[in-house]
Chain A
Amino acid sequence: MWRWIERQQHLVGFTLSSLLRRKGKTLGLLGLYVLIVFVLASVTFFARALQREAALLLAHSPEMVVQRTVAGRHDLMPVRYLDVIRAIRGVQAAHGRLWGYYYEPHDGATYTVLVPPAHAVPGTAGEAERPGVGETPAALPSAAIGAGTAVVGNGIVRLRRAAVGDVMPLAAHDGSVVTLRIADTFSAASELVSSDLILVTEADFRRLFGIDTAYVTDVAVTVRNPAELRVIASKISRQLPDTRPITRAEILRTYESIFNWRGGMIVVIFVAAILAFVIFAWDRASGLSAEERREIGILKAIGWETADVIHLKLWEGAVLSLTAFLGGVILAYVHVFFTGALVFEAALKGWSTLYPRFRLVPAVGAEQIAALFFLTVVPYTVATIVPSWRAATIDPDTAMRNTAE
Chain B
Amino acid sequence: MRTRARAFFILFCTQVLTLVGLLVHAVGPDWADAPAIREQRALVQHLQLTDLCLFTEARYTRHPSQADLSTPFQDHPVSLEHFPSGSFLPAPVSIRRVDVALD
Measured CB to CB, the residues of A under 8 A from B are 9-10, 12-14, 16-17, 20, 53-54, 56-62, 65, 67, 69, 72-74, 97, 101, 109-110, 112, 114, 116-118, 131-132, 135-140, 153, 155, 186-187, 189-197, 199, 218, 220, 244, 246, 250-251, 254-255, 257-260, 262-266, 319, 322-323, 326-327, 329-330, 333, 337, 347-348, 350-356, 359, 361-364, 366, 369
Give bound CA distance, A10 to B63, whole Å. 61
> Contact partner of B88 among A186, A258, A327, CB < 8 A?
A258
Give bound CA distance, A131 to B49, whole Å. 12
**How many Å from the CB of A66 to the closest CB on chain B?**
11
> Contact partner of B53 among A139, A155, A189, CB < 8 A?
A155
* Secondary structure dominating the interface of B: helix
Closest partner residue, chain A, to B91 (CB atom): A263
Decide: A263 near B87, CB < 8 A? Known: A65-B66, A246-B65. Answer: yes
Measured CB to CB, the residues of B under 8 A from A are 1-9, 11-12, 15-16, 18-19, 22-23, 25-26, 31-32, 34-59, 61-70, 83-92
**How many Å from the CB of B27 to the closest CB on chain A?**
8
Give bound CA distance, A116 to B45, whole Å. 11
**Residues of the A chain whose Cβ atoms lie less than 8 Å from the Cβ of B25:** 362
Give bound CA distance, A56 to B32, whole Å. 7
Which of A56, A138, A323, A369 gathers most chain B CB within 10 Å? A56
Give bound CA distance, A319 to B4, whole Å. 12
Give bound CA distance, A196 to B53, whole Å. 7
Decide: A322 near B58, CB < 8 A? Known: A13-B1, A116-B47, A139-B42. Answer: no
Give bound CA distance, A61 to B52, whole Å. 11
**How many Å from the CB of A137 to the closest CB on chain B?**
3
**How many Å from the CB of A372 to the closest CB on chain B?**
11
**Residues of the A chain whose Cβ atoms lie less than 8 Å from the Cβ of B91:** 263
**Residues of the A chain whose Cβ atoms lie less than 8 Å from the Cβ of B2:** 9-10, 13
> Contact partner of A250 among B11, B37, B61, B65, CB < 8 A?
B65
Which of A118, A347, A352 gathers most chain B CB within 10 Å? A352
On whether the beta carbons of B39 and A138 are closer than 8 Å, the reply is yes
> Contact partner of B83 among A69, A155, A323, A350, CB < 8 A?
A350
16 additional A-B pairs beyond A244-B69, A361-B36, beta carbons within 8 Å, are: A13-B5, A20-B4, A57-B52, A74-B66, A132-B45, A139-B38, A153-B53, A262-B90, A264-B87, A323-B15, A330-B15, A333-B26, A347-B84, A350-B84, A356-B54, A366-B23
> Contact partner of A10 among B1, B16, B42, B83, CB < 8 A?
B1
Closest partner residue, chain B, to A354 (CB atom): B56
On whether the beta carbons of A265 and B5 are closer than 8 Å, the reply is no
On whether the beta carbons of A326 and B19 are closer than 8 Å, the reply is yes
**Residues of the A chain whose Cβ atoms lie less than 8 Å from the Cβ of B54:** 192, 258, 348, 356
> Contact partner of B22 among A73, A263, A323, A333, CB < 8 A?
A333
Closest partner residue, chain A, to B70 (CB atom): A72
Closest partner residue, chain A, to B37 (CB atom): A56
**How many Å from the CB of A335 to the closest CB on chain B?**
12
Closest partner residue, chain B, to A95 (CB atom): B48
**Residues of the A chain whose Cβ atoms lie less than 8 Å from the Cβ of B88:** 258-259, 263-266, 348
On whether the beta carbons of A16 and B59 are closer than 8 Å, the reply is no
Give bound CA distance, A44 to B65, whole Å. 23
Closest partner residue, chain B, to A244 (CB atom): B69
Decide: A363 near B26, CB < 8 A? Known: A16-B5, A323-B11, A326-B15. Answer: yes
Decide: A351 near B48, CB < 8 A? Known: A9-B2, A57-B37, A72-B70. Answer: no
> Contact partner of A60 among B41, B52, B85, CB < 8 A?
B41
By Cβ-Cβ distance, the 8 closest A-B pairs, closest first, are A13-B1, A263-B90, A264-B87, A137-B42, A350-B84, A326-B15, A60-B45, A362-B26
On whether the beta carbons of B51 and A251 are closer than 8 Å, the reply is yes
**Residues of the A chain whose Cβ atoms lie less than 8 Å from the Cβ of B18:** 326, 330
On whether the beta carbons of A193 and B68 are closer than 8 Å, the reply is no
Give bound CA distance, A16 to B5, whole Å. 7
**How many Å from the CB of A200 to the closest CB on chain B?**
12
Give bound CA distance, A319 to B12, whole Å. 9
> Contact partner of A322 among B5, B12, B22, B59, CB < 8 A?
B12
Give bound CA distance, A110 to B60, whole Å. 12
Give bound CA distance, A153 to B54, whole Å. 13
**Residues of the B chain whose Cβ atoms lie less than 8 Å from the Cβ of A251:** 50-51, 65
On whether the beta carbons of A110 and B59 are closer than 8 Å, the reply is yes
